Amino acid sequence: MKKRLAIIIITTLLGSCLYGCNKKEAVNSTNVIESKYSFPYTGEECDQTSINNTPFMVMVENSPSARPQSGLSQADIIYETSAEGGIPRFMALFHSQSPSIIGPVRSVRPYYITLSRENSLPFAHCGGSLDALNEIKQDNSIMSINEISKEHYFWRDSTRKAPHNLYTSSEKIRSFISTTNWDVKSKNFSTFDNEYYNSNDYKTCDNILITINNHYNTSYTYNNNVYTKYMDGEKAWDMAYESPLEFSNVIIQKTDIKLGEDGLHLDINMIGEGDGLLLSNGKILDIKWKKYSELSETKIYDMNGNELPLATGKTIWHIVDNKTSIKY
């Protein structure tokens, strides 16, 4: 009898121990899953609070008089493509960081509106070409934050000459967005895989030079896992944050760019498909890009038709003419 009682007690204790251990492991496993968040535009890990930041875009000038700009080092993605006059402008996407100053802010063009639409995000700007302003006026789905009618969300820097002195901030832009009924949400920009480009099948590339025209060129040097940007031979610098512009990925999308019907502004083909280059983790590869409609996202693929991941971190995306000189 005593022997049977001892067996029952031991069995009960073992069962309790196993149950308790399993339960603890399950709780720990759940905690690991719940605490793992990553920013959708960079793939970098973050906390639950930061991932809920409101994303937005800003038109930033890039003429020599606008340099060095402020806030660009805090952008998750920067699009760079040409405007009239031969000097490209930036459309910067902010989500993971909250810069206190961004600019100089300048006017928008229709092809930049296309970028905002494919990302489903509001954008800050100051005026625009006639075609761009007409498009904004006729389409209520375009989330425009125009300084001309929303001046309280911008300011002028008296130490710089107009029109290269207009600035805004993440606080001001997010404050305005909160007053609207816009449905602003972040969405996955890409998949991220830091090991993908370690394959020996891809060429190594530590330097690349993109010559847009006789008035402007930009280059990148790869070191310590990032691409440092140069413009006209000088390191691109963020004045407010006292830091260089560095990226984990450089995308070069080639397309047709021509003078528009007004003989002044540019017409950039954003829809369709074409060739390009991708630099990531010190490697370079030929790519194909595809975009099927105004609202669809631009996707990049290898030459076998496989969609490509990016390295974790910031991305700069160039949109250049098919005839642009690119040396590496």
Amino acid at position 62, single letter: N
Give the CA-trace dihedral at 321, 322, 325, 328, to 10 degrees.
120
Q: Which of 258, 265, 250 is nearest to 308 (CA)?
A: 250
> Among 257-271, 288-302, 311-325, whose mean pLDDT is lowest?
257-271
Q: Which pLDDT belongs to residue 108?
A: 98
When comparing pLDDT for 203 and 2, which is higher? 203
Q: Judge whether residue 26 has pLDDT over 70.
A: no
| Spatial separation of the C-alpha atoms in residues 298 and 291, rounded to whole Å | 5
What are the φ and ψ backbone dihedral angles of 81, each rounded to 5 degrees? -150, 170
Q: Which pLDDT belongs to residue 85?
A: 83
Q: Which pLDDT belongs to residue 263?
A: 79
Residues sharing a CB contact under 8 Å with residue 122, sequence separation 6 or more, in sequence order = 56, 57, 116, 143, 144, 145, 173, 177, 180, 182, 184
Let me know: does 252 contact 227? Beta carbons within 8 Å: no
| Spatial separation of the C-alpha atoms in residues 32 and 49, rounded to whole Å | 16
Per residue in 83-137, pLDDT (tens digit) is 988 889 999 999 999 999 999 999 999 999 999 999 999 999 999 999 999 999 9
Q: Which pLDDT belongs to residue 35?
A: 52
Let me know: does 168 contact 154? Beta carbons within 8 Å: yes
Task: Give the confidence band of 36 by pLDDT, cuts at 50, 70, 90.
Answer: confident
Residues sharing a CB contact under 8 Å with residue 19, sequence separation 6 or more, in sequence order = none
Let me know: does 212 contact 320? Beta carbons within 8 Å: yes
End-to-end CA gap in the chain: 87
Q: What separation in angstroms does the CA of 149 have from each of 59, 125, 146?
A: 16, 11, 6
pTM: 0.88
Q: What is the mean pLDDT of residues 178-203?
A: 92
Q: Which pLDDT belongs to residue 262?
A: 82
Going along the chain from its start, the domains and CATH numbers come out as 48-177 (3.50.90.10), 196-327 (3.50.90.10)
Q: What is the mean pLDDT of residues 255-271?
A: 92
Cα 154-159-160 angle, rounded to 5 deg: 70
